[in-house]
């Protein structure tokens, strides 16, 4: 594994430990789990993806999400979410092409809290999956082949209240795009990613 990959793997492990610690210590928090009306959330973390296309390279990269929605009731939030994983720097030919690969989903997500008085939640969603590439070649110039297909996501997290309407949210999410075809290639293109990180949630 490359040094960059090792550092990313170490980051994933560290974030996992933080996630577990926050979820455990949250049992003792005094602030109530208040969920009503509009909410927004965003976070960054480490991601490990398996992607398939003519120039794609799987592995560790940066990941992030943004979510906007509202509470239908105290234990259920419906939201729109964008999740994204990115990896760059792959060399694919003698002309030293630099390839950036990006996997994204744009989904409607249901976020459910099994116990309304606690911050633990699970979420699931479906929508659009996008696998994009940017190929910067010294000979042929820059090209942007991409594919669009059905997208999905499944995740878990915990809202650790720091204020009445503000939480730190450790999370883990799996998201991906179903098989499709990318421009300039007859090879099937698809992918899925595991994202682990920390977010901020405004309730």
Domain total for the chain? 1
Question: Which range of residues forms the domain containing residue 27?
Answer: 3-202
CATH number, domain at 103? 2.40.160.20
pLDDT at site 173: 98
CA-closest candidate to residue 83, choices 52, 44, 122 = 44
Give average pLDDT by consecutive 10-residue segment, the chain, 203 residues: 47 49 49 88 97 89 97 95 88 68 97 94 98 84 89 97 94 97 81 97 93
Buried b / exposed e along 98-115 (16+ C-beta atoms within 10 A): ebbbbbbbebebbbebee
pLDDT at site 18: 52
CA distance 201 to 203: 6
pLDDT at site 26: 44
pLDDT at site 36: 87
pLDDT at site 41: 98
């Amino acid at each position: 594994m490359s040094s960059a990959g090792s550092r990313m793997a170490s980051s994933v492990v560290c974030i996992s430990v933080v996630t577990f610690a926050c979820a455990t210590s949250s049992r003792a928090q005094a602030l109530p789990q208040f969920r009503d009306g509009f909410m927004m959330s965003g976070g960054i973390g480490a991601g490990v993806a398996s992607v398939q296309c003519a120039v794609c390279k799987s592995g560790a990269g940066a990941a992030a999400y943004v979510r906007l929605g509202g509470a239908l009731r105290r234990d259920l939030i419906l939201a729109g979410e964008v999740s994204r994983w990115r990896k760059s720097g792959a060399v694919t030919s003698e002309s030293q092409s630099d390839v950036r690969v990006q996997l994204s989903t744009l989904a409607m997500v249901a976020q459910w809290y099994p116990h309304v008085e606690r911050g633990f939640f699970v979420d699931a969603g479906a929508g659009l999956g996008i696998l994009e590439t940017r190929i910067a070649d010294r000979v042929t110039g820059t090209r942007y082949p991409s594919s669009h297909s059905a997208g999905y996501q499944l995740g878990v997290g915990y809202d650790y209240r720091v204020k009445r309407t503000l939480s730190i949210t450790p999370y883990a999410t799996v998201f991906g795009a179903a098989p499709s075809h990318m421009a300039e290639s007859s090879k099937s293109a698809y992918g899925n990613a595991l994202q682990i990180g920390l977010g901020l949630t405004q309730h």
